[in-house]
Amino acid sequence: MTRLSDVVLQSVSGELGPDAAVVVAAEDWLAALSSVKRAGAIFFDFLTGVDSGTEFIQLVAHVATPEGTERLTLVTQLTSSVVDSATGIYPGANWHERETAEMFGVVFAGHPRLDPLLLGVDFVGHPLRKDFALAARATRPWPGLASDAEAAPLRSGGRRRVPPAGVPATWEVPNAD
Amino acid sequence: MPTDPIPTGEAVPHGVIALDPGACPACLVCVRECPVWCITITSHDEPDASGDDRRPRTKTLLDTFEIDFGLCMYCGICVDTCPFDALSWQPLTNYPADLAQGLKHGIGELDGWRQR
Amino acid sequence: MAADSLRTWRFRTTGVVLEVHDLPLACCAVETTSAFASRPDLFEEVTVPIANAIRVLLVSGTVTDRLLPAVMEAARGLGPDVKVVSFGSCANTGGPYWDSYSVTKGIDQFLPVARYVPGCAPPPEALVSALLDLVGQSS
Ligand code: SF4
Ligand code: SF4
Ligand code: SF4
């Protein structure tokens, strides 16, 4: 355990997760970040989201002391799609939150300018979420079916809808008419 | 076969993939392993003489085999996974096309690229 | 992006001169650069337009939807007769990123392509072949 994890666990309730990450509740997210910053972790490394299949996204942030002698990963499981922006504590979180917003659909309340960072303004959807269907995979027939007989139920939308490798069964299967 | 303007020798790993159609029983392993879905195969089943009335057998015969080299990422997974060593890397690099469809090559070209 | 800000190469073979504007976008560019460097007999870097040369835009690498307007702008800047060479699977069809949410699935959806060079990445000699081919086509 680093000194930084002690600091967090003294200021908010949380627990030590895998790889010495400190897991805190969503409502303690900003309190946890400001406690580690006060304790000397003024270097903001990154913030991103993780879609682990739960309804809402997990946030992960990594901070360190400027010498790199101490570092800490903070994790929180969101309970809604909105969370307070960390930009008031770490201005460096600005672009990371913009990217997490466009890629995962998380809204960072209080962010100075939550425009898309990498995607075009007309891009629809949040491509790093697991439920984002990749159009190319959903529309191209998988070439790996052994014969037309095997492919027929797939095409006719019959009961045996075999999704191709790498395509979740919930995605639209092509040629289902 | 066109010749390369620069001699490439055997050290070119990402030239082209050739097929020995006689060695390929259309098992579809390569098709299913290809990360970019760029191999397509058609085949049909025929009765096999090794069976009899009580135990009829069929064998699968390859009809068409096509690699879309416009899409191929030259990863070599197909060559590595083919259980019958029907696929091989060949040094040819000179096969540009003036249409995207022109980068799809069937049994004729794939077989012709084999070093015999 | 102004087309004249691209590195430009004169490609000269018997009787024909190409003005090759290099638009290197990803790993494929390592191979095109290597082609320019390894064949000084064919390629010479130039900084002023070559009179009566066939203009070529060499798109090597991954084109994303966000970058596409810049690629189009570069093509427009080279005039209506520009020959576009699509170098590598990414430019040809999206290649390894065929299912990506952000990569353009083939620049030929937006630009007429004169030559498709297969490979990921195509080796330097494939570029030389394609340009020689192009000369055969347009001379
Ligand atoms: S080299 Fe890779 S991408 Fe190309 S056909 Fe083989 S498995 Fe598919
Ligand atoms: S893995 Fe080999 S034998 Fe099987 S279909 Fe492919 S080329 Fe033919
Ligand atoms: S075709 Fe392959 S080598 Fe070329 S840019 Fe795409 S990924 Fe890189």
**pLDDT of A52-86, one tens digit each?**
989 999 999 999 999 989 999 999 999 999 999 99
Q: How many domains does chain C have?
A: 1
Higher-confidence residue of A146 and C54: namely C54
Alpha-carbon span A57 to A45, nearest angstrom? 20
Interface of A with B in 154-173 (CB under 8 A): 164-165
Burial of A69 (0-12, 13-18, 19+ CB in 10 A): exposed
Same structural domain, A122 and A162: no
Taking CA–CA distances from C100, the nearest residue in chain B reads B36
Query: Which residue range is the domain that position B60 belongs to?
Result: 6-115
Q: Do the domain assignments include residue C139? A: no
Residue B101: which CATH number? 3.30.70.3270
Domain range enclosing C65: 3-134
Position A173 in a domain? no
**pLDDT grade for B13, boundaries at 50, 70 and 90:** low
Residue A164 scores a pLDDT above 80: no
Cβ separation of B94 and C125 shorter than 8 Å?
Answer: yes
Amino acid at B36: V
User: Nearest to residue C117, comparing CAs of B40, B6, B99?
Assistant: B99
Q: Are A45 and A112 contained in the same domain? A: yes
Report, in this order, helix, strand and coil percent for chain B, each rounded to 5: 20, 25, 55
* Neighboring chains of A (3 or more beta-carbon pairs < 8 A): B, C
| Closest ligand (CA of B68) | 1
- pLDDT for residue B50: 79
Give the pLDDT of residue B6: 46
Ligand 3 site residues (CB inside 6 A) read: C 26-28, 61-62, 88-90, 95-96, 120-121
Considering CB atoms only, which of A143, A146, A147 is closest to B37?
A143
Which B residues in the span 48-67 are in contact with C, Cβ-Cβ below 8 Å? none
pLDDT tens-digit readout, A102-159:
999 999 999 999 999 999 888 999 999 999 988 888 888 889 887 655 555 444 444 4
Residue of C30, C36, C87, C92 to mutate for B, most B C-beta atoms under 10 A: C92
Number of domains within chain A: 2
Burial of C62 (0-12, 13-18, 19+ CB in 10 A): buried
Q: Are A26 and A44 found together in one domain?
A: yes
A105 and A138 fall within a common domain = no
Residue A169 pLDDT exceeds 80: no
* pLDDT surpasses 70 at C92: yes
Q: Are residues A79 and A17 part of one domain? A: yes
Please report all neighbours of C, defined by 3+ CB atom pairs within 8 A: A, B
Residues A108 and A22 in one domain: yes
Across chain C, mean pLDDT equals: 90
Whether B59 has a pLDDT exceeding 70, the answer reads yes
Q: Taking the alpha carbons of A47, A53, A54, A56 in that order, is the dihedral positive or negative?
A: positive
% of chain A with per-residue pLDDT over 70: 82
Name the helix (H) or strand (E) containing C125.
helix C124-138
Query: How many Å lie between the centroid of ligand 1 and the Cα of residue C76?
Result: 34
Alpha-carbon gap, residue C106 to C59, rounded angstroms: 11
- Residue A175: inside a domain, yes or no? no
Structural domains counted in chain B = 1
Averaged pLDDT for residues C84-106: 96
Output the pLDDT for position A158: 45
Nearest-CA residue of chain A relative to B33? A144
pLDDT score recorded for residue A123: 92
Residues of C in contact with A119 (CB under 8 A): 66, 102
pLDDT > 90? residue B57: no
Residue C81 per-residue DSSP state: T
Whether residues A101 and A29 share a domain: the answer is: yes
Does residue B80 fall inside a structural domain?
yes
With an 8 Å Cβ cutoff, is A120 touching chain C?
yes
CATH number of the CATH domain containing A112: 3.30.460.80
pLDDT band at C48 (very low <50, low <70, confident <90, very high): confident
Q: Cα distance from C59 to chain B (closest Cα, Å)?
A: 14
Position B108 in a domain = yes
Phi-psi region at B85: left, alpha or beta (left = phi > 0; alpha = psi -120 to 50): left
- Mutual angle of helices C28-38 and C124-138, in 10-degree steps: 70
- Residues of B whose CB is below 8 A from C95: 36, 71-73
* Same domain as A138, residue A121: no
> Could you give the ipTM of this predicted complex?
0.87
Burial class (CB in 10 A: 0-12, 13-18, 19+), A100: buried
User: Are A106 and A155 found together in one domain?
Assistant: no
In a domain, B1, yes or no: no
DSSP state of A28: G
With a cut of 90, say whether residue A96 has pLDDT above it: yes
Eight-class DSSP state of A65: -
Convert the pLDDT of each residue in A6-30 to its tens digit.
Answer: 988 988 888 888 878 999 999 999 9
Query: Of A22-26, B23-27, B32-36, C8-12, which gets the smallest average pLDDT?
Result: C8-12
With 60 as the cut, is the pLDDT of residue B48 above it?
yes
pLDDT, position B5 = 47
What's the pLDDT band for C138 if we cut at 50, 70, 90? very low
Domain with A156 in it: 133-167
CATH number reported for the structural domain that contains residue C105 in this entry: 3.40.50.12280
Contact C100 A119 (CB under 8 A): no
Q: Are B56 and B41 in contact (CB under 8 A)?
A: no
Q: Is residue C59 part of a domain?
A: yes
Three-state secondary structure call for residue B28: coil
Q: Which residue type sits at B25? A: P
